[in-house]
Chain A
């Protein structure tokens, strides 16, 4: 078959789709006249933030929509033909391969991974013997580059890492010799370095098997790096589409332009002017440190009873008025450092000095709540669900000040304004707020007592890029206005490059590299840092220029 004559792998025309709310029975439109063409043998990225309808489109293509979804208009053709229900089931077996979002819960926890793969093979081909299925399954595991595949065949899902599980799922997706892969955020649940490896694998398999791939992602930088064509979705409406280079070089929609500007990896200097890096902080020198950490160690007892060493002698110096980033992947111990600095977790050995004074230990905080505050990743968890925004913001004042009721009210109103939160939100509870608004409230609780240091533990990792950019903007603005010092913990090097002056790279509880951020990222000396830097998705140089 010649390549040019092949019909598009997936052709979505004018698709409109809505969900019926199970309680109120109201219909909510999630896709509105969506067109999307995935040409055979190419990669097409579908980009959108949460709630854009991108996953719904994937479900619609595979015919897996939940019962309360209704297609109102439009067609979805697979390889030039609109399939019937029955044909779609057959297509799921032989034409479409599906790579899910969350590898950790996408395999049956009670069955060995190899057997799941073998039973999938046997479900397609009843004549396949058990032995033959097992042999084929091991071959597939080899194909997705799982080390010691015969051994891993007998593992249960909980014994494998996220990356390994995603490899197993990819093996399942290609096991039926499909023509199309649908990958729904295939790497968003994985660590950055693993993300890159898995994406490389997916694209390698795609080209060696000659597949078409619909790559669904929230990450525009990643899409730009990995796709031939791109479709940008917002609130169920296509904002932009076309060949990737064209769309990114000359985005036609304002939405795409904003999205491009908000991706940290694509705009490294965005916050330079707003105070991320004042001239004073250009030196990495140790003069005037507000926080120094020397030889910090910490072990937890794990389930097996053995010690699990999370921190193995960490040194840190944070200069007053600077932003110091701590970078590392999950398991590097970065959250433990945040908790130790906030005195929520005791440490084993080492020394922590705040503003020159050594920590007293014995349950006395390293720095009191009026001097150091922690902002954590998940604002929904740290805000009491029964309290209103006003009560939440008022609580620190109630505890630490003698202000009258009226004064507190005035203070909270002023704070809402500083946080860019509309005053009418003050009566809402956390569940009634958006993710970005919740994080603003959490920031407000932290800054209302005017502390000197904020420890920010992945403050934006749960948020969409545009919301993330807004929060970072707010944080940088607050820092410039109040002369705060930030300890900024993140796995996102692109973001770290934007906001921090100095950086410490952490791997398995040890510092592998530290120094001025731009120097460390431009000339990483440790191979681990290099891997991290390499996994920042980037764009061809031409596109970057257009953005300026």
Chain B
């Protein structure tokens, strides 16, 4: 027992020493971001919505990211904006995943006319670049954080549908599925025990990647002014607001931008590691 435990510790420390430093960094970034989401009040030093100092202050110990043209603390606004942006991405990915997976599964399962109809819909959706499609949907739904998120989700439906469909079709043709059918397994068993477990891993990795993409996408929409209305802190909007002062106060753009980049990079890194683990 004792021996076992020390062996475990040794192995764990060994693994830690061997761990990819970039991966460790990525996990740290995501952990910090998670704190921003869960308890923004605990982290942010100031009220994000009211002026707490002079306007356009450069970064300092008191104002980590400086202040904006109204004297609001940028760091606090970034912290509070995290939740809006990430919730938006979560909504977007959920929409895309649920609707897309169902469409893809239905197409692959029923085949025939259903497959053709879904296939054409996917072709149509894919023929419009995602950003443009989400702009169309935002026009129809109206501006706002939730609407922007739904628009982004709707635009990623085709990606999920296509992946799910091809994944199911590929796995269905694999030898072990046929082997189980040959052994006499029922359709339900084959679907639940063999096809789904073997196709979800690549869907899962698309989910993670699409989460990162949605952050960028939603930020772009809110940068263009279709997301959260102005007093709200939201990542893309913060940068849009800073844009007019970029000559004198570049940190208004650069520092919130750096947070977005760090976040998306970390997600990419983690998703890639997860995928590699799955494959080996």
Residues in A lying within 8 Å of B, measured CB to CB: 342-344, 368-370, 373-374, 376, 378, 381-386, 395-396, 399-400, 445, 449
Contact = CB atoms under 8 A, between A and B. Distances in A.
Given A344-B181, A376-B179, 13 more contacts: A344-B178, A369-B182, A373-B182, A376-B175, A378-B175, A381-B175, A382-B175, A384-B176, A384-B194, A384-B198, A386-B198, A395-B180, A399-B189
Contacts of A368: 184
Q: Chain A CB within 10 Å — which of B181, B184, B186, B194 has the most?
A: B184
Contacts of B183: 369, 373, 395-396, 399, 445, 449
Contacts of B189: 399
B278 to A, nearest CB: 10
B185 interface: yes
- Could you say which of B181, B189, B193 has the most chain A C-beta atoms within 10 Å of its C-beta? B193
Contacts of B194: 384
Interface string B188-202: 010001100110000
A374 B182 contact: yes
A385 B193 CA distance: 12
B179 A396 contact: no
Contact of B184 (A344, A374, A396): A396
Contacts, number: 48
Main secondary structure of the interface of A (DSSP, over half): loop
Contacts of B180: 384, 395
Interface string B160-179: 00000000000000111011
A381 B183 CA distance: 15
A464 B185 CA distance: 32
Nearest to B186: A399
Given A369-B184, A399-B184, A399-B185, A382 B198 contact: no
A212 to B, nearest CB: 42
A342 B181 CA distance: 11
Contact of A382 (B179, B184, B186): B179
A509 to B, nearest CB: 22
Nearest to B176: A384
What are the nearest 7 A-B pairs in CB distance? Answer: A381-B175, A382-B179, A369-B184, A382-B175, A384-B176, A396-B183, A386-B197
A543 B200 CA distance: 57
Contacts of A370: 184
A496 to B, nearest CB: 24
Contacts of A369: 182-184
A382 B175 CA distance: 4
B238 to A, nearest CB: 41
Nearest to B175: A381
A344 B177 CA distance: 11
A525 B273 CA distance: 61
A386 B179 CA distance: 14
A370 B197 CA distance: 26
Contacts of A399: 183-186, 189
Nearest to A385: B198
B160 to A, nearest CB: 22
Contacts of B181: 344
A34 to B, nearest CB: 31
B178 A382 contact: yes
B175 A400 contact: no
Contacts of A395: 180, 183, 185
A524 B149 CA distance: 75
A386 B195 CA distance: 11
A381 B182 contact: no
A378 B176 CA distance: 10
A342 B175 contact: no
Contacts of B178: 344, 382
B184 A381 contact: no
Nearest to B174: A381
Nearest to A391: B193
Contacts of B179: 376, 382-383, 445
10 contacts: A344-B182, A376-B175, A382-B175, A382-B176, A382-B179, A384-B198, A399-B183, A400-B184, A445-B179, A449-B183
Most chain B CB within a 10 A radius of its CB, from A343, A378, A399, A400? A399
A381 B176 contact: yes
A378 B197 CA distance: 21
B6 to A, nearest CB: 22
A381 B176 CA distance: 6
Interface string B131-147: 00000000000000000
Nearest to B194: A384
Contacts of B193: 384
B251 to A, nearest CB: 41
A396 B193 CA distance: 13
A382 B176 CA distance: 4
A400 B194 CA distance: 17
A151 B181 CA distance: 47
Contact of A342 (B182, B186, B197, B198): B182
A370 B184 CA distance: 9
A407 B239 CA distance: 66
A381 to B, nearest CB: 3
Contacts of A386: 197-198
B197 to A, nearest CB: 5
B174 to A, nearest CB: 7
Contacts of A383: 176, 179
Contacts of A343: 182
Nearest to A374: B182
Nearest to A383: B176
Interface in B65-82: none
B16 to A, nearest CB: 16
Contacts of A445: 179, 183
B11 to A, nearest CB: 14
Contacts of B185: 395, 399
A370 B181 CA distance: 13
Nearest to B178: A344
A385 B174 CA distance: 11
B21 to A, nearest CB: 16
A370 B182 CA distance: 10
A381 B182 CA distance: 14
A399 B186 CA distance: 8
A373 B182 CA distance: 8
Most buried by A among B174, B178, B179, B181: B179
Contacts of A342: 182
